[in-house]
Structure 1
Amino acid sequence: MRKEEKSGQIFDLTILRRIYGFLTPYRGRFWMLVFLIMMMALVVPLNPLLIRHTIDTYIFAGDYNGLSVMLLIMIGVLLVQGFLQFITAYMAGWLGQTVIRDIRVQLYEKILMLRLKFFDDTPIGRLVTRTVSDIETLNDVFSEGLASIAGDILQLTLIIGVMFYTDWRLSLISLSTIPFMLVSTYIFKEYIKKSFTEVRMAVANLNSFVQEHITGMNIVQIFNAEKLEYEKFVKINKEHRGANIRSIWAYSVYYPVADVISAAGTGLIVWYGSREILHETLTLGTLTAFIMFINLFFRPIRMLADRFNTLQMGIVSTERILKLLDSEEYVANNGHFEADNLQGNVRFENVWFAYNEEEYVLKDISFEVKQGETIALVGATGAGKSSTINLLSRFYEINKGKIFIDNVDLQDYELKSLRSKIGVVLQDVFLFSDTIENNITLGDKTITREKIIEAAKLVGAHEFIDRLPEGYDYNVMERGASLSVGQRQLISFVRALVHDPKIIVLDEATSSVDTETEEMIQNAIAKLMKGRTAIVIAHRLSTIQNAHKILVLDKGEIKESGTHETLLERNGWYAQLHKMQYKEFAS
């Protein structure tokens, strides 16, 4: 069992304090809810006492006037009790939904700030479980947990006190079945705690599997793996079903057992009370009241077991949520330099970087590119090209060395300001299920439609966008599924350009488009790079022949650097890559 899936302790004061901390903006409503629950606990024992008084004082005496008055009083008490039940249920539900809304927003804000390495190591489905299912479980803590448990305990205490005050002998007989109820409740609580933990694990695994395989459905179908993946899903779904059935089985056993024990207590009261009535040492009103008391007494006990399990699962979910909220896996944003006047001079000095400790993918990388220049990174897959540009936007932190922009250490820049000046176009273009305009602006209201159209015309995207049914308001569907690869690539260019970056990063930006589209993009790039620093990664060496400098990377090291002509003359690494690619195109 994963460490994060283990059950927490119900009375973990640290976790309970953190849970209460979520209630800080709504403390007034929370304590009002507690007060109303306490009031309801005080009202509940009144009904048996009123019925006892009515039977013994008015019914046997034939006092219809008194009986009518008592009936009105009992109706009033029932109305008050009903109102209190309504208002407490509504307030508990409102409080729970409001708090989890706040927590979900806080959690999603945290996720947005996490560094990419965190997402490399964490299944997305598990994050979905934290953001949706675990927070819903926490809702039960506020709506059915803390305050309700306090109300149930108070109600039990009051009922026991009233019972002993009314008749201590009947009270002892009534409570004689309590040990059996407590034992069965404890066994149920322990079993259901284990089964609930299994359910949470099964839900997380199911979410992870479904999210991952729906996202990669094209790979599944390309390799005819539908049957294999179906069998995996059936197995995971079977585990989910089994975990839920085990919890259902526990409830199916516990509640009938609890009802039998409650009925046994009632039977003992009726047997003993009837005998005492025959001996005229007990009144019928008192016996009737005790029958009602025993039902009122056992109901909170049954509910307490469920509420404690709810609280326990809430503690487990809270631990997971807090682990994510407290995660230090984020890029420290301690810089104070604003990038408003960024020129675009980039310098790497002896940079070492590893995704995993000591497994360096970049080794002692040093280079410089001045404002307005274009530098190209080439090399085989895994050479470290993409890692180099990921460091520039601080998606990952370097292990050793320094990176400077305009002679300012990269870490001294305010992160949002820095990234606003770096435009990135990736090989694998991601588009959200939204309009083309929103995919370009990403919600930036300062970018006008006119600016979008201007940038689209420059890269040659305006013509195809204008032909779409709703133009720039056309919904591209999830991941841009309704567009071709080339169209998605062109939109990503527009997205990068409308933000007016000082540094442009192109990661295999033209590798997924046809020759005609590539030529159009290259012409647009030539115009747009003027005055901007460009870092280009490309397999097609023909697209970077005009770069001011080309770096040849292999296994994280710079093997060669120079212009296209210079590197060809050296007849080294670059020349070999050029010859190999020339043969590929010639064949």
Structure 2
Amino acid sequence: MSTEKRLYQYALTSKKTIIIALILLSVSVAAALTGPFIAKTIIDEHISSIDEAWYQTESGSQAVSYYGTYYTRAGNLPESEQTGEPIYVQQNGLDFYVTSDSLPDGEKRYQDGTLQVSNADGTFEAQADALSADQVMAFYQPEIRPILMLLGLYLALILGSSFFQYGQRYLLQKSANRIIQRIRTDAFNHLSSLPVRFFDHLPAGKIVSRVTNDTEAIRELYMTVLANFFSSAIYIIGVYIALFLLDVRLGLITLVLLPILFIWMKLYRKFSVGYNRNIRSKVSEINAAMNENIQGMPIIQAFNREKQLNGEFEKLNKEHYGFQTKMLRLNSLTSHNLTGVLRNLVFVALIVVVMGSVGGGWASFLTLGIIYAFVDYVNRLFEPVNQIVNQLANLEQARVSGDRVFELMDKEGTSVDDSTMERPKGEVLFDNVSFAYKEDEYVLNHLSFKANPGETVALVGHTGSGKSSIMNLLFRFYDCQKGDILIDGVSTKDLSPQAIREHMGIVLQEPYLFTGTIASNIAMENPKVSREEIEKAVDLVGGTELFSYLPNGLDEEVQEKGNTLSSGQRQLISFARALVANPAILVLDEATSSIDTETEGLIQKGMESLKSGRTTFIIAHRLSTIQDADQILVLNRGEIVEQGNHDELMKQNGSYAQMYRLQKNEAS
């Protein structure tokens, strides 16, 4: 499915709000576009119309007294009452005259009581009386009230348009925030379902960039870009309707703009999509570099690598700047300059048409009000055109960002399964298991062993021997290519990963703590875990005294990754976390390797409680910590080379015995 369709589907989740906003927008546009029609009416029917025929009538609200006789303009009289010889008010610059004959348009001159008009058809003249300022105002007096009423209507429409404009902006932006909230939630939820191998190959900074920066660009699409496109499209449609109502032929002249705008947008997209894709990619790379450098700042400074990394970052920054500059050039070429040229071309076409009035063409019927309204509407037409042009760059950025976010969401994941399973007894069987992270590069080869319920199985071996891979398979972070893994006789492939992990616990060499308190980290925000259970778990792992020295005890705030706590405190929290989960199968992955001897002594006291009634797997380099294990598996290149308990392996005098003696000598 294309990015556009998926963005459209997300928009449909707020369709009611958007429809209401578009209705308000339509009302607002209709109210705003009534203004030029009101101006046209004022000009043609109440200002310019003073030169109509005036007929002698009785006194009244529309009548004007001229030398003791009342006259009413033809526009204010029914045809049946338009009798007798009319008089005419002629304007020449700022001067006004009354004549008994109607004169055509042309160059006017007044001399000795005669008004002459010259045009292409000849010279015309009529007897005329000059009007004083008071007399001119008297002739305009009947028009003041309707003009004020129309201006009041115009003011009311402006206020109404502003109110509806506010409503549509609020609703569109509200729906945009709601839509982007759904996209971010879906993206984050999908990340939780992705296999661990996905995160092995993509830096965290790039993933964060897609969920934050790219979704923010999509938010701009819904909040600003589409809002402007919707309002501009409706505004343009409204302007064209008004232009055709004003004069069909003038409306047809402006239709030429539509294909020009369409071609313009197609060409812009052709060139901009590549630039925007590169820009978003570089932003992602910059975020990844920033994340990596911040995480590793102690190592960077310890090895004096600041200048080298500054150079690498500057290279990324320079590449990003280069693409931004290319995008800026494109936007500069296709922004206000082009819209200004198009507007001027329309006005040139209008001038050419109006010049046709000299020859008596259809343009001769254009009134001053129509020309004013047309110019006003054309100016209004280019306001939304400018808005569309200004948002083209943001539109393409949002499209590219949408591609990146949906590309992430299209990665095949495992849906979170709410199914549950009974607490297993803890029997674990690896049956001829072979596993490879990369195709045909096996790290485990035909591995077979069995852990009985409640047993402690220790895994030892050199780095890369396959110890952690066994744990990854047990937790179903990965699935083996050959063989099978069974828990209580049931293949793990027939069980959902979530159901399996509900009964498993793990303690890592480097425990990961989340922002919150010590207590919330132990409970992992599980509301089912009570305070008493947390305190009991801490006591069992020997941490009560150690945490009592903190000002707030178990309610002490934990900063990012627990950097304010010692390594021993962090590991104790990890042990208590595993104990609170009450797992049937427990994995201790180098759990005591980063702890000092005193803290290890505290933990060892609670280890028996932690392992009691559980099948426990221990990955250890300190062989002194696994002497009481029921089974010890010695691994080498993904194969079990020795197997037995401590005494049995020491009697074999093989690899295990050699490693044990070496460590014992080092300790002594």
TM-score, structure 2 normalization: 0.79
CA gap 1:68/1:493 in 2 versus in 1, 3 angstroms = same
Task: Name 1:405's counterpart in structure 2.
Answer: 487
Q: CA deviation at 1:50?
A: 1.8
Matches of 2:267 and 2:13, distance apart in 1:
38
- SS of match in other structure, 2:510: coil
Is 1:30 aligned to residue 30 of structure 2? no
Matches of 2:478 and 2:416, distance apart in 1:
11
Task: Name 2:553's counterpart in structure 1.
Answer: 471
Task: Name 2:370's counterpart in structure 1.
Answer: 286
- SS of match in other structure, 1:242: helix
Is 1:457 aligned to residue 539 of structure 2? yes
Is 1:480 aligned to residue 562 of structure 2? yes
Is 1:57 aligned to residue 45 of structure 2? yes
1:290-439 alignment runs, 5 A limit: 290-330=374-414, 333=417, 338-340=421-423, 342-439=424-521
Matches of 1:168 and 1:23, distance apart in 2:
36
Task: Name 2:626's counterpart in structure 1.
Answer: 544
- Give yes or no for contact 1:553–1:559 (8 Å, CA) kept in 2: yes
- Give yes or no for contact 1:436–1:474 (8 Å, CA) kept in 2: yes
Higher mean C-alpha displacement, 453-462 vs 406-415: 406-415
Task: Name 2:6's counterpart in structure 1.
Answer: 18
CA gap 1:295/1:403 in 2 versus in 1, 3 angstroms = same
Matches of 1:375 and 1:56, distance apart in 2:
98
Letter of the 1:26 counterpart: S
CA gap 1:31/1:177 in 2 versus in 1, 3 angstroms = closer
CA gap 1:331/1:222 in 2 versus in 1, 3 angstroms = farther
Letter of the 2:38 counterpart: L
Unaligned runs of 5+ in 1: 1-12
- Write out per-residue CA displacement over residues 495-545 of structure 1, whole angstroms, 9 at most, x where no aligned residue: 111111222211111111122222222222123322221111111111111
CA gap 1:307/1:34 in 2 versus in 1, 3 angstroms = farther
- Give yes or no for contact 2:507–2:588 (8 Å, CA) kept in 1: yes
CA gap 1:23/1:362 in 2 versus in 1, 3 angstroms = same
Letter of the 2:444 counterpart: L
- Give yes or no for contact 1:180–1:261 (8 Å, CA) kept in 2: no
Matches of 2:227 and 2:19, distance apart in 1:
9
Higher mean C-alpha displacement, 44-53 vs 548-557: 44-53
Task: Name 2:232's counterpart in structure 1.
Answer: 152
Is 1:533 aligned to residue 533 of structure 2? no
Letter of the 1:284 counterpart: L
Task: Name 2:284's counterpart in structure 1.
Answer: 204
- SS of match in other structure, 1:328: coil
Is 1:87 aligned to residue 182 of structure 2? no
- SS of match in other structure, 2:650: helix
- Give yes or no for contact 1:379–1:385 (8 Å, CA) kept in 2: yes
Count matched residues.
572
Q: CA deviation at 1:568?
A: 1.7
CA gap 1:187/1:332 in 2 versus in 1, 3 angstroms = closer
- SS of match in other structure, 2:334: helix
Matches of 1:457 and 1:364, distance apart in 2:
42
Task: Name 1:8's counterpart in structure 2.
Answer: none
Matches of 2:147 and 2:384, distance apart in 1:
30
CA gap 1:460/1:177 in 2 versus in 1, 3 angstroms = closer
Task: Name 1:9's counterpart in structure 2.
Answer: none
Q: CA deviation at 1:361?
A: 1.0
Task: Name 2:87's counterpart in structure 1.
Answer: none
- Give yes or no for contact 1:189–1:306 (8 Å, CA) kept in 2: no
Is 1:555 aligned to residue 650 of structure 2? no
CA gap 1:377/1:421 in 2 versus in 1, 3 angstroms = same
User: Higher Cα Rg: structure 1 or 2?
Assistant: 2
Task: Name 1:496's counterpart in structure 2.
Answer: 578
CA gap 1:177/1:553 in 2 versus in 1, 3 angstroms = closer
Matches of 1:373 and 1:163, distance apart in 2:
87
Choose between structure 1 and 2: higher helix proportion: 1
- Give yes or no for contact 1:511–1:540 (8 Å, CA) kept in 2: yes
Matches of 2:267 and 2:3, distance apart in 1:
25
CA gap 1:189/1:293 in 2 versus in 1, 3 angstroms = farther
Out of 256, 268, 273, the residue aligned to residue 348 of structure 2 is: 268
1:562-577 alignment runs, 5 A limit: 562-577=644-659
Letter of the 2:519 counterpart: E
Out of 194, 203, 227, the residue aligned to residue 307 of structure 2 is: 227
Q: CA deviation at 1:307?
A: 4.4
Higher mean C-alpha displacement, 546-555 vs 74-83: 74-83
CA gap 1:425/1:331 in 2 versus in 1, 3 angstroms = farther
Is 1:578 aligned to residue 660 of structure 2? yes
- SS of match in other structure, 2:587: strand
Matches of 2:257 and 2:645, distance apart in 1:
91
1:83-122 alignment runs, 5 A limit: 83-122=163-202
TM-score, structure 1 normalization: 0.90
Aligned-CA RMSD value: 2.7
- SS of match in other structure, 1:45: helix
Matches of 1:169 and 1:463, distance apart in 2:
91
Task: Name 1:213's counterpart in structure 2.
Answer: 293
Task: Name 2:219's counterpart in structure 1.
Answer: 139
Task: Name 1:194's counterpart in structure 2.
Answer: 274
Is 1:514 aligned to residue 502 of structure 2? no
- SS of match in other structure, 2:613: coil
Q: CA deviation at 1:308?
A: 5.0
Letter of the 1:327 counterpart: K
Matches of 2:351 and 2:495, distance apart in 1:
83
- Write out per-residue CA displacement over residues 395-444 of structure 1, whole angstroms, 9 at most, x where no aligned residue: 22121111112222223334333212212111011111221111111101
Q: CA deviation at 1:365?
A: 1.0
CA gap 1:322/1:272 in 2 versus in 1, 3 angstroms = same
Higher mean C-alpha displacement, 159-168 vs 57-66: 159-168
- Give yes or no for contact 1:196–1:247 (8 Å, CA) kept in 2: yes
- Write out per-residue CA displacement over residues 546-566 of structure 1, whole angstroms, 9 at most, x where no aligned residue: 111110001111111011121
Letter of the 2:24 counterpart: L
- Give yes or no for contact 2:334–2:389 (8 Å, CA) kept in 1: no
Q: CA deviation at 1:230?
A: 1.8
Identity %: 35
Matches of 2:367 and 2:11, distance apart in 1:
49
Matches of 1:165 and 1:300, distance apart in 2:
20
- Give yes or no for contact 2:540–2:606 (8 Å, CA) kept in 1: yes
Letter of the 1:516 counterpart: E
Unaligned runs of 5+ in 2: 51-139
CA gap 1:221/1:322 in 2 versus in 1, 3 angstroms = same
Higher mean C-alpha displacement, 460-469 vs 75-84: 75-84
- Give yes or no for contact 1:339–1:418 (8 Å, CA) kept in 2: no
- Write out per-residue CA displacement over residues 150-203 of structure 1, whole angstroms, 9 at most, x where no aligned residue: 553343344335434534665566667777766665554444433332321222
Matches of 2:598 and 2:13, distance apart in 1:
59
Choose between structure 1 and 2: higher strand proportion: 2
- Give yes or no for contact 2:336–2:386 (8 Å, CA) kept in 1: no
- Write out per-residue CA displacement over residues 56-90 of structure 1, whole angstroms, 9 at most, x where no aligned residue: 11123331111111101211221222222211111
